[in-house]
Structure 1
Amino acid sequence: MKVDYTQDEIDSRTLKLIVGLIALFLASLTSFLTHGEIQSISESYHHDGLVRNIFVGCLFAIASFLFAYNGQEPQKEALISKIAAVSALGVALFPCKCEVMGNVCKNINEYNQIVFGIMHIISAIVMFLILARFCQIFYQRAKTKFLRDGNIMAKRRSYIYLISGITIVLSMLILILDMLIQYLPNPIILNPRLVYWCEFFGLVAFGISWLTSSKILPFMAMEHEELHILKK
């Protein structure tokens, strides 16, 4: 029996679209549902009810799609995608050190809070660094396509990937700087929600880059390249 594998059963561009949308709105949604109280997106874990379910569920969804994603160049993208998936699960399963005294927080002893907090930070940093690496890969691919074929849409995409990658890296550098400042003899609180805003811009940059790579955004792909979800 001959099996036709010419058409992908799972469209990688649709995966990018879904992941991009989740990343784009996760920060705003968690902040809205907590009435702007959270100082970190990860703090959503310590709020009972819907917001915690959304936070954990979205990270599991992103992890699932990253596990399934091998990219156009599997030798470059497959392994780091799996590492990013594990890191996303780490962010979801190891809550940050709790500053919100809710029911969930009371059930986590101080030692576990410290251990979970360290695991959470490591997972988050690894995940964001890999997402920045994806931006670099997408940028190089789009730039090569423009130089080779003169595809002006690819040139536009390359700018988006470059800006997104820089935004993610800068957000992580600011976060790391903020963490180091807290170990000074007289720590300075730069902004109570600085962590949230760094995560916000990092996730939004990630979301925009993957939406761009899905080729669903207008004026970012040639007509024959555009993603049409309901068309073959």
Structure 2
Amino acid sequence: MNQVNLSYRLLRRVVGLLGIALPIILIIGHGAIERAISYYYYTSMSTVFTGVLISFGLVLFTYRGPELAGEKVSENLLTTLGGVFALIVALLPTQYGKPIDAIFYVHNDALRGWIHNGAAVLFIFLTGLVVLIKFTKAPFYRSLYRFLGWMVMLGLAFTIGAFLYKKVTGYPLFNGAVFWGESFALWAFGIAWLRRGIPARASVKA
């Protein structure tokens, strides 16, 4: 196994572990389920939330996946864009959505809120797309990657639907609906990235 392949695998594992761990750490640390993962920015877990998202961004920037001859959209392009959107999510918090009690870092700016939400959707979509159209070209576990890739998209679609339902009706689909949709998507792509970072028994090639 050469050093480059080892680095690819290590970065994949880091991305996978971050995706799996983030919702769990936020729930344990805060002791409650918020409306969405982004609202943990306004809790005692703010530093953890921001730190993990910045880590996502930096790791995805650093990651350089294999480039295949003739491909129009490379894995590197998708992960670099995903890193950009992860940093936007981290550095531009969501709209608070409640009366502000003079907390200096809270905002109720709708435009910034929509930018944050859009970046969050694109971050999850792009990392899921890597699983769906890039990891499925690997020599092993193609069916697993295809399944997990569609699970990311399903979780993302549910999240968007639950968010829009709340916007239209004023009531949540159920308590924590957006949070659970996001968590499902994060766990699916986290498992896929973690699996991609572990060498298959029959091969040590990426």
TM-score range, shorter chain: 0.7 to 0.9
Q: Is the 8 A contact 2:42 2:106 kept in 1?
A: no
Q: CA deviation at 1:138?
A: 3.6
Q: Is the 8 A contact 2:56 2:86 kept in 1?
A: yes
| TM value normalised by structure 1 | 0.77
Aligned length: 201
Q: 1:68 aligns with which of 62, 69, 87?
A: 62
Q: 2:129 aligns with which of 122, 126, 133?
A: 133
Whole-Å Cα distance in 2 between the matches of residues 55 and 11 of structure 1?
Answer: 25
Q: 1:31 aligns with which of 27, 31, 44?
A: 27
Q: Look up the match of 1:53.
A: 47
Q: CA deviation at 1:224?
A: 4.4
Whole-Å Cα distance in 2 between the matches of residues 8 and 223 of structure 1?
Answer: 19
The alpha-carbon distance between structure 1 residues 56 and 107, as it changes in their structure 2 partners (threshold 3 A), is: closer
The answer to whether structure 1 residue 166 and structure 2 residue 145 are counterparts is no
Whole-Å Cα distance in 2 between the matches of residues 84 and 199 of structure 1?
Answer: 16
Whole-Å Cα distance in 1 between the matches of residues 135 and 83 of structure 2?
Answer: 21
The alpha-carbon distance between structure 1 residues 137 and 104, as it changes in their structure 2 partners (threshold 3 A), is: farther
Q: 2:83 aligns with which of 80, 85, 94?
A: 85
Q: CA deviation at 1:18?
A: 1.1
| TM value normalised by structure 2 | 0.86
Q: 1:213 aligns with which of 169, 179, 196?
A: 196
Gaps of 5+ in 2: none
Q: CA deviation at 1:212?
A: 0.7
The aligned amino acid for 1:167 is M
Q: CA deviation at 1:45?
A: 0.6
Q: Is the 8 A contact 2:136 2:146 kept in 1?
A: no
The answer to whether structure 1 residue 225 and structure 2 residue 198 are counterparts is no
> 1:143-174 CA distances to partner (integer Å, 9 max, x unpaired)?
xx3xxxxxxxx1xx212211211111111111
CA root-mean-square deviation: 2.5
Q: Is the 8 A contact 2:93 2:116 kept in 1?
A: yes
Gaps of 5+ in 1: 1-5, 146-153, 228-232
Structure 1 stretches (4+) deviating beyond 4 angstroms? Answer: 99-107
The alpha-carbon distance between structure 1 residues 96 and 158, as it changes in their structure 2 partners (threshold 3 A), is: same
Q: Is the 8 A contact 1:47 1:104 kept in 2?
A: no
1:8 is paired with a residue whose SS is helix
Q: CA deviation at 1:68?
A: 1.0
Q: CA deviation at 1:70?
A: 2.0
